[in-house]
């Protein structure tokens, strides 16, 4: 684990009291380690700039409190919501980095996506990245309303 720590992935801005840090050796811990070593660290390396984590592992009470999906990858330590800072156009570069490193991921969701009139993704509020220990589905999607999700075309020109 080079750029991220387990603790860094166990956070909540709104419900800090519901945060739980999984113990070493648990499934959740191992999933977080896999997420960091095989997804977040390589993406961060490719991106070349710091990435902030707003949500990672969510124990059931925390997931419920934030309105997470009942089968969310966050429940198992397999997902992280990340962004680069205040420049939302930079978040698109996180997606580019994921594609650059070419790993088999479970989910890449452009959250709060904004497109220009030509259909190019120009910014998003944050990126949800998920990696499972196996059976990764390569879901490449976006949401603009945080309720409905749509396929993000690989051919979508991601502008810098
Ligand atoms: Zn998420």
The number of folded domains in the chain is: 1
- Per-residue confidence (pLDDT) for residue 156, from 0 to 100: 59
CA distance 110 to 54: 15
Ligand 1: distance of its center to the CA of 138 in Å? 15
CA distance 155 to 160: 15
- Per-residue confidence (pLDDT) for residue 160, from 0 to 100: 43
- What is the residue range of 87's domain? 7-151
Residue 109 inside a domain? The answer is: yes
Ligand 1: distance of its center to the CA of 128 in Å? 4
Residues facing 108 on adjacent strands? 129, 140
Residue 31, SS3 per DSSP:
helix
What CATH number has the domain bearing residue 134? 3.30.1380.10
Residue 24, SS3 per DSSP:
coil
- Per-residue confidence (pLDDT) for residue 6, from 0 to 100: 98
Ligand 1: distance of its center to the CA of 160 in Å? 23
Residue 159 inside a domain? The answer is: no
Least Cα distance to 149 among 140, 138, 141 occurs for: 141
Ligand 1: distance of its center to the CA of 120 in Å? 22
- Per-residue confidence (pLDDT) for residue 88, from 0 to 100: 87
Ligand 1: distance of its center to the CA of 109 in Å? 8
- pTM surpassing 0.85? yes
Residue 114 inside a domain? The answer is: yes
CA distance 131 to 154: 19
Residue 1 inside a domain? The answer is: no
Ligand 1: distance of its center to the CA of 117 in Å? 27
Ligand 1: distance of its center to the CA of 53 in Å? 10
Residue 26 inside a domain? The answer is: yes
Residue 157 inside a domain? The answer is: no
DSSP state, residue 23? P
Question: Scanning the structure block, which residue is given the tokens 């991220």?
Answer: 4
pLDDT in tens, the chain (160 residues): 999 999 999 999 999 999 999 999 999 999 999 999 999 999 999 999 999 999 999 999 999 999 999 999 999 999 999 999 878 889 999 999 999 999 999 999 999 999 999 889 999 999 999 999 999 999 999 999 999 999 998 655 555 4
Positive or negative, the Cα torsion across 57, 59, 65, 68?
positive
- Per-residue confidence (pLDDT) for residue 92, from 0 to 100: 94
Residue 67 inside a domain? The answer is: yes
Ligand 1: distance of its center to the CA of 79 in Å? 6
């Amino acid at each position: 684990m080079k750029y991220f720590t387990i603790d860094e992935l166990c956070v909540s801005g709104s419900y800090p009291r519901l945060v739980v840090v999984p113990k070493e050796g648990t499934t959740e811990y191992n999933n977080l380690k896999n997420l960091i070593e095989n997804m977040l660290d390589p993406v961060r390396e490719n991106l070349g700039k710091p990435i902030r984590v707003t949500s990672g592992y969510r124990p059931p009470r925390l997931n419920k409190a934030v309105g997470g999906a009942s089968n969310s990858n966050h429940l198992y330590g397999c997902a992280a919501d990340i962004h680069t800072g205040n420049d939302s156009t930079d978040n698109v570069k996180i997606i580019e980095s994921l594609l650059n490193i070419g790993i088999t991921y479970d989910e890449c969701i452009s959250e709060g996506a904004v497109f220009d009139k030509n259909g190019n993704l120009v910014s998003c509020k944050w990126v949800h990245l998920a990696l499972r220990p196996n059976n990764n589905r390569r879901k490449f999607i976006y949401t603009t309303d945080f309720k409905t999700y749509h396929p993000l075309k690989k051919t979508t020109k991601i502008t810098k």
